[in-house]
Structure 1
């Protein structure tokens, strides 16, 4: 068995999964190089993020829960409203991280990324920004990697955490690609009205969903979900106009939020996508984590949680003293695939019911069953 403290790992991608697995492996004394394609390390990208308790559980394992808690907005209920803002139902969120953690935490996405970046910097990993893997050559014991900066190194393992359009996934012969589900989402960060203390979702009106989530004492992120458009036909200069046109038809807190939808550069438009690599998540000494292996619509707010759980489980196995072989990587896949499949299928189903105008769908039942499963440790 290899001497684990001298083992070397290349992590490709500095998002939630890549950052988390880097910190966990360095904690065990493993040498880790992390490369990230974006020179800014995604430190300023995105509006907000909703983290359920099972994501918070992983942040606690990373030693980052207190920072996240201080930076975000914790809450434990979900409001369902009519388009005019009338509250129809308030549901208790399931505490998927256990009773000692909030059910839900809203955060500004750049703030979460900065907390993870700081943890990576502090753990002693080598970080190269604006860098990609140009080629991977494997043998039975490791991977020879040539990077875009011209350097070459050999690693015992490569962790592909390079997102839903993962070049590494394609490079090792896994042909799965994300597919659109038929919905698109407008997002923006905005000041938080005093009345917004939880996520509220309005179904119906000019869009499928209009919602907002508090992300701090003074901030929230708001989103409007509609049928997906041809992104090439959506002029970036019109982003604020298009989101405002939809949002201004909703009541409640929306009039106060809508007045801040003015700068098209602050509005983001993306499609909902789905993907699940059903076959093993590794080829030789290259293994997938996070969105490189799976992605789902944010209808259950579980995307980041699944990525963080991947990192936790993979790091646990890699630091268990077992050989780094097909059996270990298959064990990682087998622990993750049933749980991730449940989340992906439920997240897609919720959106499909809306697309199909199924008015009597058991959305609360599906969410409840899925969240009960997620209370179990990954």
Structure 2
């Protein structure tokens, strides 16, 4: 099938990947509608992609070459132990074949690789969409309506398109929060510094992953800390929200610093405390699975289709795999209906499996943490296998051959 018009609602990682896939598949016109003005590349979060997923995505044309990445080889699980030194005691070490990325640099690489034929419109708010068997209608914030053959919802966890595909489906609060930050890697040296490793600091009621990422001005250290929420009512849990970088209140910052001092090995507590408040934020953790990823001429992608807790380290890979599956479905279809059916059959179950795995990881690593300090290496390995429950590992599933 060739020709047709496609609107992609959302211009971040999933949006750029879908726009590129649509052009490669033979779409006549592709328009990206991104509400944010300016550079999305200013976002400073880190993320990881499994080496095997990266190779598959590169071969499929979904992951451009030349994007800065930092190689990781192993994951070290450590606990606070007064007799083990400031870096804590190593409980277990496992292979971790991933590369880490800076969100903004990854987005920039995908944006630069987007074909010139794509019309990328910023500062455009999509107020709603509708789709039937014949077309998709996109209603903009100014009241105008645009008509396309297909509309892709790549508009994240607050997706407007999702409301049309799966009315009433909303992310559910998982019961805990995630603190995030990043700082100059030059500050991370000495006891406990392992450039090729992800360090997971374990404590009763939570855990924290720490790893290096490339940054626009040089290497950074990215950290993600899972914990029970503060009890002072500063966070809302009825709607997906967060305190973005630079917006933390003094009370929230004090809560975080007290947690680091109380639960972390001294080396890691001091290191994370170096994070500038402008580079620190907190967000409640949510997840979501939808019964369907398509309806009429509408299609969901990335976080619009499924919101997966970050423990699975699969968010970016999943978005790029969605785009790859979209391109494959297009190549094998003679009609829009066949395309949508094939995409839904491929990505609906995959998304739901990721949500289920991340829930198991969240229960084991935050909600019902074990007594890590008393674990032997064999017990730690068994605990990890129980979380996987037959899944080959974290980072997402292989693409179908």
TM tier, smaller: 0.7 to 0.9
Corresponding residue of 1:97: none
Corresponding residue of 2:66: 67
| Matching of residues 310-329 of structure 1 within 5 Å | 310-325=322-337, 327-329=338-340
* TM-score (structure 2 length as normaliser): 0.81
Structure 2 Cα separation of the partners of residues 67 and 256 of structure 1:
34
Of the structure 1 ranges 246-255 and 180-189, higher mean CA displacement relative to structure 2 is found in 246-255
Corresponding residue of 2:239: none
When residues 78 and 173 of structure 1 are mapped into structure 2, their CA distance, relative to the original with a 3 A threshold, is closer
When residues 362 and 88 of structure 1 are mapped into structure 2, their CA distance, relative to the original with a 3 A threshold, is closer
Corresponding residue of 1:96: none
Q: Could you list the runs of 5+ residues in structure 1 that have no partner in the other structure?
A: 94-102
Structure 2 Cα separation of the partners of residues 226 and 135 of structure 1:
35
* TM-score (structure 1 length as normaliser): 0.85
Structure 1 Cα separation of the partners of residues 362 and 98 of structure 2:
21
Deviation by residue 1:106-136 (Cα, 9 ceiling, x = unmatched) = 122221122122222x442101111122343
Structure 2 Cα separation of the partners of residues 144 and 314 of structure 1:
20
Corresponding residue of 2:258: 245
When residues 149 and 54 of structure 1 are mapped into structure 2, their CA distance, relative to the original with a 3 A threshold, is farther
Alignment partner for residue 347 of structure 2, among 316, 319, 336? 336
When residues 300 and 134 of structure 1 are mapped into structure 2, their CA distance, relative to the original with a 3 A threshold, is closer
How far the C-alpha of 1:355 sits from its partner, in A, is 1.2
When residues 124 and 252 of structure 1 are mapped into structure 2, their CA distance, relative to the original with a 3 A threshold, is farther
Corresponding residue of 2:5: 8
When residues 137 and 258 of structure 1 are mapped into structure 2, their CA distance, relative to the original with a 3 A threshold, is closer
How far the C-alpha of 1:350 sits from its partner, in A, is 1.8
When residues 41 and 169 of structure 1 are mapped into structure 2, their CA distance, relative to the original with a 3 A threshold, is farther
Structure 2 Cα separation of the partners of residues 116 and 237 of structure 1:
34
When residues 67 and 223 of structure 1 are mapped into structure 2, their CA distance, relative to the original with a 3 A threshold, is same
How far the C-alpha of 1:259 sits from its partner, in A, is 4.7
Matched, 1:203 2:216: no
Q: Could you list the runs of 5+ residues in structure 2 that have no partner in the other structure?
A: 82-87, 237-242, 372-378
Alignment partner for residue 288 of structure 1, among 300, 309, 330? 300
Corresponding residue of 2:90: 87
| Matching of residues 117-156 of structure 1 within 5 Å | 117-120=111-114, 122-149=115-142, 151-156=144-149
How far the C-alpha of 1:147 sits from its partner, in A, is 2.2
- The answer to whether the Cα contact below 8 Å between 1:9 and 1:157 also exists between their aligned partners in 2 is yes
Q: CA RMSD in A?
A: 2.6
Aligned residues: 359
When residues 139 and 182 of structure 1 are mapped into structure 2, their CA distance, relative to the original with a 3 A threshold, is closer
Deviation by residue 1:50-84 (Cα, 9 ceiling, x = unmatched) = 2223542325533644323xx12111211111135
Structure 2 Cα separation of the partners of residues 60 and 248 of structure 1:
45
Deviation by residue 1:146-171 (Cα, 9 ceiling, x = unmatched) = 32355543211000111111112113
| Matching of residues 218-229 of structure 1 within 5 Å | 218-229=219-230
Corresponding residue of 2:360: 349
Alignment partner for residue 275 of structure 1, among 285, 288, 301? 288
Deviation by residue 1:191-221 (Cα, 9 ceiling, x = unmatched) = 222523211101115x511220110362110
How far the C-alpha of 1:143 sits from its partner, in A, is 1.8
Corresponding residue of 1:113: 107
| Matching of residues 23-34 of structure 1 within 5 Å | 23-30=20-27, 31-34=29-32
Corresponding residue of 1:170: 163
When residues 86 and 372 of structure 1 are mapped into structure 2, their CA distance, relative to the original with a 3 A threshold, is closer
Matched, 1:369 2:362: no
Deviation by residue 1:1-25 (Cα, 9 ceiling, x = unmatched) = xx61x31100001122111111111
How far the C-alpha of 1:188 sits from its partner, in A, is 0.7
